[in-house]
Chain A
């Protein structure tokens, strides 16, 4: 039984998106907010997510709620994560905060695939992570790791 009720989602940068309630409920965080919310539960703030990312998240939820059994769901998902790593990271973070398991799994697995076969330096570079080990600490760790580095 789908209601024609709509919900407004507001991103961290003030962008608003009107979505069907059924679509919004795909996020368990939003579902919880609605169920425990008071009188004004038609506008929900999502401060952890920017407008750009929220728009994409909604696109994901729409597809999965409106056509969950469609044959092209798999290819939709595959294409959905063909984005640059920054967008991918934002999607992962958003799906975590908004508690959308399918999207969390999809984006996490995609990130994991990006790690495969890479060296430490390559991973740091791809995701712009700062190395906060001192050279001595790093050398010590590599030595300690050696029993399972070249397993």
Chain B
């Protein structure tokens, strides 16, 4: 049957198809569709900056307006990736500047960004609009000054948990007086004080400003002045939220908050003075997102606030909220979709904070829309996990961090296999899982059997043997990211499932039992993979082949091996000069 598909409208149809996965499928349908897609695909996402190189990207997609790049693997957040490993954005910026002068958006995660790169971005793209840097490092406030001074059409400058060499707050004053296009500014991770008058003037001349996240140095007493200039804000992060209580400051602040009719999201609240918390009472019912993870105050204060947030969808809070506070959440926040509870003192064994599995069970019972959980606690039981799995069959993300490694079910002293097994069995939409506690190979059997939609799995101090790894690699059809630390997984499972690794984005294994020999074999056998052994030991060259490596990071790539790796990173099994290029 001949196609009646109207080729003339394909480009227009594609403009409504934004998911990269869908665009990829479309591009493989036939030759004309491939061509049409490549000419009009202007948003690109690169999940691993070493999986492809700029040249290949540019050759395929001639007209890119927005690019997102991710560098280091996720376990870098736990300091498991040594300094100097890689993830440099500079080589990308050089090529992007040459190929895409009308590039508008750059989003980077866990990459090393230098001032030089930022200066190049600032000078190369006339219509640059969006810069989002998440968990990046390597730059200073001088780089930010270059962006501020040169990007006339900037809309978004969003620095999320970056490590910035903070030379001074003067960078903010580099935004010219003629600059009025700002929509979003997140400087929460910076430490230096910025000129308050420069900040106030910037806010005053930015009518489209919707997001403003201040850093700690902006004092509470000055918040009214800023908010008065921007009552249209949707997302606001305070600075340090502490001051001596003064009724005039209090009522002024309460007044300006009440005037923010569009406010939906609040964060900040460093060093909170509880007496000032009620200024937000009038906006609580508007809030869909509340981040109190810096609010180091006791449960009653936190509870009072959340009890008024009847439309809350996302709550991030410290364990100071305790079970009682979470119980209030379960009764008051019926629209809750995402819950994050961080530990106030993760390195101390025993704390006087009453946050247990009961809090999480309560929320799972009361909040039927809950689909994402990140929960730090000190005790868990199989029965609680089973209850949670039954209460929340629509969970998509479940990350449980029991602080003590290998902690068993505190009631029965058994492993938590059946609890997590219940999670994967009942939650068929689960795409992300992070486990903790005492776990045997059994739990991996459950995962391999039931977690068919699992996309990312994080494992630590778990399992008894290679069988555990084998269950996961052979059973989880949709698994793309697997990260493992301190588990007795070794060569056998890895080599037996080598071809699976080519269908994943990456595998990280540290402090496991994978040998040098196996890594070399894998690297040789699989040209489509880079097998990086990351080992900082001094005597690493004299360690026998059968001995385990410190860390191995395996990822799919069409770019061949990389040449920017430091001494302690060895790309195994590849001829030094071979580059696996596709012509």
Q: Show the binding face of A for B, using Cβ within 8 Å.
A: 86, 89-90, 92-93, 96-97, 104-105, 107-109, 111-113, 115-120, 123-124, 127-133, 138, 140-151
Q: Show the binding face of B for A, using Cβ within 8 Å.
A: 1-6, 8-9, 12-17, 19-22, 24-31, 33-34, 44-48, 51-52, 56, 60, 480, 502-505, 528, 556-559, 582
A86 and chain B: residue at smallest CB distance: B4
- Residues of chain A contacted by B19 (CB below 8 angstroms): 116
17 example contacts (A-B, Cβ-Cβ < 8 A) are as follows A112-B14, A112-B16, A115-B13, A115-B22, A116-B22, A124-B29, A128-B3, A129-B5, A129-B29, A130-B3, A132-B30, A141-B34, A144-B56, A147-B46, A147-B47, A147-B558, A151-B45
Kindly name the residue among A97, A115, A119 whose own CB sees the greatest number of chain B CB atoms within 10 A.
A115
Q: Complex formed: what's the CA distance from A117 to B60 in Å?
A: 23
**Interface pair A144/B582, CB less than 8 Å apart:** yes
Extra 6 A-B pairs, beta carbons < 8 Å, given A141-B27, A151-B45: A96-B12, A105-B12, A109-B13, A128-B3, A148-B46, A151-B47
- Residues of chain B contacted by A130 (CB below 8 angstroms): 3, 30
B7 and chain A: residue at smallest CB distance: A93
Q: Choose from B1, B3, B15, B556 the contact partner of A147 (Cβ within 8 Å).
A: B556
Q: Choose from B3, B33, B505, B528 the contact partner of A151 (Cβ within 8 Å).
A: B505
**Interface pair A112/B558, CB less than 8 Å apart:** no
Q: Complex formed: what's the CA distance from A130 to B32 in Å?
A: 11
**Interface pair B582/A128, CB less than 8 Å apart:** no
Q: Complex formed: what's the CA distance from A19 to B429 in Å?
A: 52
- Residues of chain A contacted by B56 (CB below 8 angstroms): 144
Given A111-B13, A112-B13: A147 touches B51 (CB 8 Å cut-off)? yes
- Residues of chain B contacted by A133 (CB below 8 angstroms): 28, 30-31
- The minimal Cβ–Cβ distance linking B480 to chain A, given in whole angstroms, is 5
Q: Choose from A97, A108, A131 the contact partner of B12 (Cβ within 8 Å).
A: A108
- Residues of chain B contacted by A141 (CB below 8 angstroms): 27-28, 34
- Residues of chain A contacted by B559 (CB below 8 angstroms): 147
A97 and chain B: residue at smallest CB distance: B8
**Interface pair B30/A145, CB less than 8 Å apart:** no
Q: Complex formed: what's the CA distance from A138 to B28 in Å?
A: 7
- The minimal Cβ–Cβ distance linking B40 to chain A, given in whole angstroms, is 13
A142 and chain B: residue at smallest CB distance: B28
Kindly name the residue among B6, B33, B34, B46 whose own CB sees the greatest number of chain A CB atoms within 10 A.
B6
- Residues of chain B contacted by A86 (CB below 8 angstroms): 4
Q: Complex formed: what's the CA distance from A147 to B56 in Å?
A: 11
**Interface pair A109/B16, CB less than 8 Å apart:** yes
